[in-house]
């Protein structure tokens, strides 16, 4: 089966190949971006999410893996603690966390993103928004969550993690707990942050303390409670 590749809205905006076309349609696309913000805010305000936790993690986590089970457990425990759960709505770790949240009977939100190849939202999402622009979607993640948990992931997860860390470090968001779940997976990164970034004066030791690294989901949940409004 051939999967058809589509040109995404992000590509139209960012890729140099579309520069000429952008010049001609700039104002129209700005309206589209504006509309995406409005649609996101309206849907998420109407959802009355209260205290919600954003869960990041790999789109590639296999359904039959221990990591997927951990994601379900995390979503479930967050739900039991009274948190609604927001993910990217995709497969893998996102699906696992949505599944756990849905099992626990809390709101299970999926902030989907248009990608070059059809992905579809996972079946455990009950509040769904589909975004064309990554940056609009990131605003929604931050605005409607009061903390983040990151399961092992790739570039997408790193992007979300470091965006959040930068916003906390620069005090754009106040109390905002961030937990990295999985010491084996995340330990090397945190060691590197201390050695290279702190060691060479690029960040302060307190900046590393913005991250909790743990294998204990209950500890991660307790940490998330510090973000409660
Ligand atoms: C690339 C593949 C599936 C992509 N589907 C996604 N759907 C929704 N959100 C996604 C998707 N891919 C990435 N994201 C976001 O980034 C994080 C995961 O990225 P990673 O590189 O896999 O760590 C995740 O938290 C989402 O918000 C099939 O391989």
ipTM: 0.89
Q: Is this prediction's pTM over 0.90? A: yes
How far is Cα 201 from Cα 111, in angstroms, rounded to an integer?
36
Flag whether pLDDT at 70 surpasses 80: yes
Flag whether pLDDT at 105 surpasses 70: yes
Exposure b/e, 69-91, CB count within 10 A at least 16 = b: ebbbbbbbbbbebebbbbbbbbb
Q: Name which residue sits closest to atom 12 of ligand 1, judged by CA.
A: 59
Residue 119: HSE in the Cβ half-sphere, 13 Å Cα cutoff: 21
Map out the domains of the chain with their CATH numbers.
Answer: 49-225 (3.40.50.450)
Beta carbon of 153 within 6 Å of any ligand 1 atom? yes
pLDDT of 11 reads 83
Beta carbon of 54 within 6 Å of any ligand 1 atom? no
Q: Over the stretch 158-197, which tens digit does the pLDDT of each residue have?
A: 999 999 999 999 999 988 999 999 999 999 999 999 999 9
Q: Are 110 and 121 in contact (CB under 8 A)?
A: yes
Q: Over the stretch 199-215, which tens digit does the pLDDT of each residue have?
A: 999 999 999 999 999 99
Q: What percent of the chain has pLDDT over 70?
A: 98
Q: Name which residue sits closest to atom 6 of ligand 1, judged by CA.
A: 90
Beta carbon of 113 within 6 Å of any ligand 1 atom? yes
**What residue has token string 């570039």?**
155
Q: What is the distance, to the nearest Å, from the Cα of residue 205 to the centroid of all Cα atoms in its chain? A: 25
How far is Cα 81 from Cα 120, in angstroms, rounded to an integer?
29
**What residue has token string 């900046």?**
207
């Amino acid at each position: 089966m051939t999967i058809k590749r589509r040109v995404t809205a992000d590509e139209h905006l960012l890729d140099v190949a579309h520069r000429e076309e952008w010049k001609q349609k700039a104002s129209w696309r700005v309206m589209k971006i504006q509309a995406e913000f409005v649609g996101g805010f309206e849907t998420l305000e109407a959802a009355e999410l209260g205290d919600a936790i954003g869960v990041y993690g790999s789109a590639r986590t296999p359904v039959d893996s221990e990591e997927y089970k951990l994601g379900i457990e995390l979503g479930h425990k967050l739900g039991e603690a009274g948190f609604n759960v927001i993910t990217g709505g995709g497969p893998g770790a996102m699906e696992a966390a949505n599944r756990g949240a849905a099992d626990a009977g809390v709101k299970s939100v999926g902030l989907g993103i248009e990608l070059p190849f059809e992905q579809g939202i996972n079946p455990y999402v009950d509040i769904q928004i589909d975004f064309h622009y990554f940056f609009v979607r990131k605003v929604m993640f931050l605005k409607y969550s009061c903390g983040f948990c990151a399961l092992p992931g790739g570039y997408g997860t790193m992007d979300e993690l470091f965006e959040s860390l930068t916003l906390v470090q620069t005090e754009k968001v106040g109390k905002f707990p961030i937990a990295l779940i999985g010491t084996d997976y995340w330990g090397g990164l945190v060691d590197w942050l201390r050695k290279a970034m702190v060691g060479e004066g690029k960040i302060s030791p307190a900046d590393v303390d913005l991250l909790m690294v743990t294998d204990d989901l209950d500890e991660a949940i307790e940490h998330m409670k510090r973000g409660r409004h």
